[in-house]
Each structure stands twice: as structure tokens, then as C-alpha cells.
Amino acid sequence: MTVSHDFKGRRVLVAGGSRGIGRSIALGFARAGASVSICARGAEALEAARAELAAAGPGRMHAASCDLADQAQIEAWVASAADALGGVDVLVNNASGFGAGDTEEGWAASFGVDVQAVVRASRAALPWLERATSASVINVSSISALKPSTRTPAYGAAKAAVIHYTTSQAALWARRGIRVNCVAPGSIDFPGGLWEQRRDSDPKLYEGTRRSIPFGRFGAPEEVAEVVMWLASDGARWVTAQTIAVDGGQTLGV
């Protein structure tokens, strides 16, 4: 991390926080003094991330297993996190079903998690966010939402819906004192992630994607986390309903 923030006393929930972008977001907030709760399905990765959080900062750390395609489990996680941390100031909706192809399964996975988890976690957290003095929601979309895709049509459409819903949330919740923004990451490479897998399984796609990024490299999860933290900070207190692409110029197409 290269950006310094002070989140002491803040309570932050990160959906999908055990690996990749979500893990980096959670660690960033923990190192900045926040109390943090994460959820994910994989028990081993979840416990490893919880231990990292506990070592990273002075705040209270909480983790719970949660299938983000299941409404009841989302509601249970948010309630347990709010109880463990003493409330909710920031909600980061970072979850994806990664539904790629134009199939029933792809569409169900994309909208069942990428869209519905945002809606459900936001609704569940709303009673606590309304009580916070500097409440903020950050939704994680993708640059796939910004252009057509023959490779991932379901994923791109779902992420476009997240961007649209972000603006609706912002309009609905502004008078409640809650800011809602969105980040749209480009191609982010991290251990165990999609692009690490593609490096071996589809090197042509991997190299073609890398060359399409003007800076000649993939992004890092920490670079997305820093933008998320800024959006949650008092430095962005007059920013709402915005989507920021964090892609190293990948969408420029140059």
C-alpha cells in the first residue's frame, strides 16, 4: 500500500474477502486501524485471511463462512459481523460467480452472485449504515461492464447491472447520509486468480491481454484496494454515485 488513511474506530465489512482483491481491501482497512469482517465460502482461505487481518491491525477482526448466492447466509453474516464489530460504517461488495459463457449456468452464476449479493448485503447492512456518522458502500464491478464481450457476456452484463444499481443506491440513500460508489477493476493478476490460471491454460490470451494494457502489465489487488479505501475515506466525502475504472488504461484500447 502506498496511500495512508486513518480508519481507527470504523467498522468495515468485505464480502468475498479471503483472497485476491477482497483480501487486499480487507488488509488495507485493517492496517489503517479499522475493525474488519470478511466472509467467503472456502474455510481454509477464510481462516488464513482472518489470521492475516488479526496480525495486520489493532482493530477487532471477524470472519464467517458464507455462500454469497444465499440470502439467509448473507443476512446471518452481516448480523454477526455488526454484532462482533459494534456496527457497520463501510460495506464493500466484492463477490463474483464468474459466470463466463452465454449459458444458463453462466447467467445464473453471474446474476445470482454478482448482482443479488450486492443487493442483499446492502439491504442487510442498511439499518447499521443509517446509524453511522460517515457511512459508505463500495461495489466492485469490472471493466467488462463497459464494453461488449463475446467471451464473457453474462459476467459483463451482470457487472453493468452493478454499476447501474450503484447509481440507484446512491440516489435512494443520499438523504440517509450514505454514499455509494463503485470501482471497475481491469485485469488483475494474483496467486490463485483467474489470470494466473490463464497464464498456463491459455498463454495466448494471457499475453494478448497483457499487451492490451498501455503500461504493459497486469494490475495488482493492492492498486484496487487503495481506490476503494479512498472512496470510503473522508477525502471522498463529497463523492457518490461514481464508478472509477482501475485498469491502467486498459479500456483506452491503444
The C-alpha atoms of residue 47 and residue 29 are separated, in whole angstroms, by: 18
- Residues annotated as catalytic are 141-142, 155, 159
Give the tens place of pLDDT for each residue, 177-215: 999 999 999 999 988 777 777 888 889 999 999 999 999
Beta strands in the chain (DSSP E): 11-15, 35-40, 61-65, 90-93, 135-140, 178-185, 243-246
Whose cell is 491459455? That residue is 202
Q: Is 11 helix (H, G, I), strand (E, B) or coil?
A: strand
Structure-block grid coordinates of residue 254: 491503444
Residue 33's identity, in one-letter code, is G
Least Cα distance to 156 among 118, 189, 105, 114 occurs for 114
133 CB-near residues (< 8 Å, 6+ apart):
89, 177
Please say if the pLDDT value at position 2 is more than 80.
Answer: no
Residue 74's identity, in one-letter code, is I
Give the tens place of pLDDT for each residue, 83-118: 999 999 999 999 888 777 789 998 999 999 999 999
142 CB-near residues (< 8 Å, 6+ apart):
155, 156, 159, 184, 185
The C-alpha atoms of residue 22 and residue 49 are separated, in whole angstroms, by: 10
The answer to pTM > 0.75 is yes
CA distances from residue 43 to 14, 38, 65, 234 in whole angstroms, order as listed: 16, 12, 7, 34
Specify the DSSP class assigned to residue 251: G
Say what the pLDDT of residue 98 is. 79
Least Cα distance to 94 among 148, 37, 48, 51 occurs for 37
Asked if the 11-190+221-244 domain carries CATH number 3.40.50.720, the reply is: yes
Give the tens place of pLDDT for each residue, 113-145: 999 999 999 999 999 999 999 999 999 999 999
Confidence band, pLDDT 50/70/90 cuts, at residue 4: confident
Mean pLDDT of the chain: 94
Beta strands in 43-167 (DSSP E): 61-65, 90-93, 135-140
